[in-house]
Homo-oligomer: A and B are copies of this chain.
């Protein structure tokens, strides 16, 4: 019960603080972002000490080393967080942008203008750098933010948010535009998910389980992010050298990210030549191939199951099948893709056009690695996540995706 009251009170403070932030000028917001960057440096000692507490607790609890690595802050990582805030200051302000407008036949002037959502809730996992990134992106887009990180990062997040709130105040904005959600219990997340009317949108970032539970339980509108079972399809018309480079890059460049490839499909007309090459190259890269009969003809390939087809490994594993046609590849992707990023490798224009039209994913790539689906790569400058839903935003979300719009209608006593 205490949690519930505290979470609602925090959301009410965020709502109240959001009014002034929504009409703050770009200059005010950029000054706040610069002050936030400076504060991360001047609070380095307390933030790193708090982070050391979190690391000790995680190690004592037997947390795996890759998770501890995500949790760990260093002076270099803090500096990168500060630079991220300065980068956001350098981006255009989305608020106030006129999306479309004109004058109606009766003389009414109509403008559709970007406005902040109001209050954004972020629910995320261990990385404490998300705390500063999300605070910066929300502030620049005029939104008050309620941050709910992993309890494993609670000391780090508290220290970071304390520094950021001090900075925001020195820049003349209200501290409550950046808040941690009070309470560590799962109850506090539940309250956040039911705070429709007080919280305008929830963005969960993390594993599939976290995202599914938020989507299922929330009455606040949700932007679903990040689960990626991404496919590379090597078409009959593929340049096989390019195909090999793209498969390797998509699978092995970075395995723990949502735009890494998890499934390989090869057209049967190029399988005899391509399968041996791609098996050798992937295995040399340390990848375990979960393959069908054609792949299992090679040593070390394990049998693929339907679970593998649907799986986001986030590791050096890939499912692999030979398909009889482009249409069979499309059918397979329709069935198993998480609709994040799916690629075709082909020099056949007709095949590329058919694949692009038929595959309904946030990003459809032709002769390019799935790793390019990224706000930075797309030139957005900052990214709050990658939406895999169809409503509101789809694909990498930058500052404009963190806004809504309103219509401003100006007349001279107009009536119907």
Report which A residues bind B (CB closer than 8 A): 19, 22-23, 102, 104-105, 108, 110, 112, 115, 117-118, 196, 200-201, 215-216, 219, 221-223, 239, 241-242, 245-246, 248-250, 253, 334, 352, 356-358, 360-369, 371-373, 377-379, 389-392, 394-396, 404-416
Contacts and interface: CB of A to CB of B under 8 A. Distances in A.
B223 A391 contact: yes
A413 B367 contact: yes
Nearest to A249: B415
Contacts of A358: 19, 23
Given A104-B378, A201-B390, A415 B221 contact: no
Nearest to A107: B368
Given A221-B221, A352-B410, A365-B410, 7 more contacts: A221-B389, A245-B415, A360-B406, A363-B408, A366-B411, A368-B409, A391-B392
A389 B223 CA distance: 14
Given A364-B406, A364-B407, A366-B411, A110 B378 contact: yes
With most chain B CB atoms within 10 A of its CB, the pick from A19, A248, A390 is A390
Given A221-B389, A391-B391, A415-B245, A372 B108 contact: yes
Contact of A366 (B104, B115, B216, B408): B408
A374 to B, nearest CB: 9
B368 A108 contact: yes
Contacts of A406: 360-364, 394-395
Contacts of A371: 415-416
A221 to B, nearest CB: 4
Contacts of A364: 406-409
A95 B200 CA distance: 29
- Tallying the copies of this chain within the complex gives 2
B246 A415 contact: yes
Interface centre among A196, A239, A360, A367 (most CB of B within 10 A): A360
Contacts of A366: 408-411
**A-side binding surface: helix, strand, loop or mixed?**
mixed
Contacts of A118: 360, 390
A105 to B, nearest CB: 8
Contacts of A414: 246, 367-369, 372
Contacts of A334: 19
Contact of A368 (B250, B361, B373, B410): B410
A82 B221 CA distance: 35
Contacts of A200: 390-391
B249 A357 contact: no
B360 A115 contact: yes
A392 B395 contact: no
A401 B201 CA distance: 19
26 contacts: A102-B379, A105-B379, A108-B368, A112-B395, A115-B360, A117-B391, A200-B391, A221-B221, A242-B412, A245-B415, A250-B415, A356-B408, A360-B406, A363-B406, A364-B406, A364-B407, A366-B408, A367-B412, A367-B413, A368-B409, A369-B414, A372-B411, A372-B414, A392-B392, A394-B407, A395-B405
B360 A409 contact: no
A243 to B, nearest CB: 8
A110 B248 CA distance: 22
Q: Which residue, A102, A245, A334, A404, has most C-beta atoms of chain B within 10 A?
A: A404
A102 B378 CA distance: 10
Contacts of A196: 215
Contacts of A223: 391
Which 7 residue pairs across A and B have the least CB separation, nearest first? A368-B411, A242-B413, A249-B415, A390-B404, A392-B392, A368-B414, A363-B407
